[in-house]
Copies of this chain bind each other. A is one copy, B any other.
Amino acid sequence: MTGTEKDEKLPSGARIGGVTGLLIRWKGSIYKLIGLDIIVWLLFFYTFSCVYRFLLNGEQKDVFQKVVVYCRDFTNNIPLTFVLGFYVTTVLNRWWGLWNSLPWPDDVIHYLTTYLNGQDERSKLMRRTILRHVNLGIICCMRFFSSRVRKRFPSMRSLVEAGLMEEGERRMMEVMAGDSLRSMFWIPHMWATRIAHQAREENRIESDLGLRGIVDAVNGVRRTCALCQHVEFIEVPIVYSQVVTLATYSYYCALVFGSQSIDGDNSEKDDINAYAPITSVFLLVLYVGWLKVAESLIDPYGEDDADFELNWLLDRHIKVTYVTGEGLNTDFKEFTWKDM
């Protein structure tokens, strides 16, 4: 009992708790993502600062000062805020859209346990096989766009070894799909509906509507798989990403010089700045941090902290389908509604 009370471990960590809790989180945090960028920037800043102060002679200082003035002009003229604002919003919406199109076999389970509910061995086998095929189709699809899933199942043969596929099925798929496996990941989904159809013929599913319910649910899984796969086609236009990245990093570089205190500056303000360029660091945190939001979201099937843990999802699917394929109805009558 206690076991079921515990939370299962969540892949993305706990939720946010207050401002402090938010700011001290490490995983997927701003410190992890842009810490290196800031340190590198500070190194360059102090290096040039020292060079200017101690190494350069008068004429060289003049050149340096010109560069500094020029870079200040540059950083003031790049309209980074809006470009980043529009870009990040676009990327974020795409990311949520992609999450919502991940495939879940739960609908199939729902209709299967309702309509194909025999407790004999053959009915059980059919349920198990249908659910196994649904999962198999999901994995066949994900192998092509998720490097994590591909690492786990490097070849079709590894699927057989994991017990998700029979050797005969593997050979069949080889024959049918040939080198179009990417387009035809749904072959197992078709097998699943074929078995459901067989079950209807054997009257294990008692109504046409029941069969149709299962077929529709399997088709729903296939559709979301296809949507996932399309992520590579509907990527954010490369030009857009390049424009934004170029703008941000050129700002980053220009700020190394633009933040230097030089002779002739308003001395009050720049006394602090010479030793601790806080404003510049904050601007970098803001701009580079914002860009990193976009970068960590643009490839949701990658291996960043913010990316979808597809292997966790697959484990969950396999576990859930195993339980429901096997045991749901068996013990059902023994425990409850004795008065029914």
Contact = CB atoms under 8 A, between A and B. Distances in A.
Protomer copies: 5
A319 B331 CA distance: 30
A81 interface: yes
A8 interface: yes
Contacts of A90: 89, 92
A175 interface: yes
B88 A85 contact: no
A30 interface: yes
A47 interface: no
A78 interface: yes
A20 B34 CA distance: 16
Nearest to A2: B155
A1 B156 contact: yes
Contacts of A209: 208-209, 211-212
A16 interface: yes
A178 interface: yes
Nearest to A326: B176
A336 B169 contact: yes
A57 interface: no
A306 B246 contact: no
A3 B245 CA distance: 37
* Residue from A23, A196, A234, A239 with most neighbouring chain B CB atoms (10 Å): A239
A295 to B, nearest CB: 7
B29 A295 contact: no
A82 interface: yes
A155 B339 CA distance: 26
B213 A213 contact: no
A331 B293 contact: no
Nearest to A62: B268
Interface in A287-309: 289-290, 292-293, 295-299, 306, 308
A22 interface: yes
A340 B194 contact: no
A193 to B, nearest CB: 4
Contact of A282 (B219, B241, B247, B290): B247
Contact of A173 (B4, B182, B194): B4
A169 B337 CA distance: 9
A44 interface: no
Given A30-B243, A129-B340, 14 more contacts: A4-B181, A6-B179, A19-B245, A22-B241, A27-B238, A30-B239, A66-B271, A113-B190, A113-B194, A114-B194, A114-B215, A175-B331, A209-B212, A240-B293
